[in-house]
Amino acid sequence: MTIPSLLDPQLAPLFVGAPGPSFSTEILPTLRKAMAGSPIEGAGLEVVERHVHRADNTALRLVIIRPEGVSGLLPVVLHCHPGGWILGTPETSGSTLIEIAKNSKCVIVSVDYRLAPESPFPAAHDDALIALRWIRSNAGDLQIDADRVILAGESAGASIVAGLALRCRDESENQGIVALSLVYPAIDDRTTKLPPHPYAGTIGLGLDQMRFAWASYLGESQADDISPYAAPGRAERLSDLPPVFLALGAMDPFIDENLDFAKRLIREGVATTLHIFAGAPHGFDRLERAQVTMQLRRLRNDHLKRCIEQ
């Protein structure tokens, strides 16, 4: 079977004939501008920004999306956007965040975390923790239920929130975290040193881009001292995590590490929901009208609702 025949036909407009992403330090400013996204807005939504001061007196920007006309304390989704730790803003995920806010009746707090290579790990990880602590400290003003927090992200953002869940567990800050929602996460840097997959990663994001992104994020870290909060697949223990939703395409270069991660989660007693979408490369949900994207969104929202209502 040839590689093009494996691709979901509905995703062909996004991937067939499109050049693979080219990452380099020189091109990052151009890529960041292209991936910045547009202001988030939508009927029935309230969108505001808040700025939280870090210890060094710089400000962390948070984008908060709240559905209008919904009374009572709402669950909150702490979200980290995709972009290989080197690109993106909350606005990059605008359509995803709007869809979650409307269909899951949650408040979304999306983190405009610091980007590598200028700010390698633990900068983005620390920003996510700052955001979580800010949410808990301001739950009353935000009209949210701090006992119903979902950590969610895509790609690099999913890796960040997975690492955050591990840290919160280890430091006894996991109170109120009811779900971990991971869409095609980058889990383990060690896979960049393995031979390439014969099919996954041959369309769209590939091995060279993964190596650049991981090197940018990990900075000067050496192979023997990389934190599992940066690469969650390195964690020695995955038990005592909240229920996990894990979804990605069968043509995603992260497929093998995610399957290994899911097997470990299940073996260590973590309630794990795993979805693999045939014919889908990394980032397939950028094509919103594709059936596979709509299926992903429906399944993710169903999982969020189940975890919220327990």
> In sequence order, what DSSP letters do the residues of 61-86 get, joined into one string?
EEEEEEETT--SPEEEEEEE--STTT
252 is catalytic: yes
The phi-psi region of residue 17 (left if phi > 0; otherwise alpha if psi is between -120 and 50; otherwise beta) is: left
Whether residue 282 lies in the annotated active site: yes
Rounded to an integer, what distance in angstroms lies between the CA atom of residue 48 and that of residue 239? 36
Counting Cβ atoms within 10 Å, is residue 214 exposed (0-12), middle (13-18) or buried (19+)? buried
From the list 127, 145, 252, 285, the catalytic residue is 252
Report how far residue 181's alpha carbon sits from residue 7's, in angstroms, rounded to the nearest whole number: 25
SS3 (DSSP) at 177: strand
3-class SS of residue 149 = strand
From the candidates 155, 159, 181, 216, give the one annotated as an active-site residue. 155
Looking only at the bridges linking them, the beta strands covering 244-249 and 144-154 are: unpaired
Q: How many CA atoms lie within 13 A of 89 on its CB side?
A: 17
User: Which residues, other chains included, contact 222 with Cβ-Cβ below 8 Å and sequence gap of 6+?
Assistant: none
What tokens appear for 227 in the block? 């934190």
What are the tokens at 27? 């091109």
Choosing from 79, 125, 282, 303, which is the catalytic residue?
A: 282
- 104 in catalytic set: no
Q: Which residues are catalytic?
A: 155, 252, 282
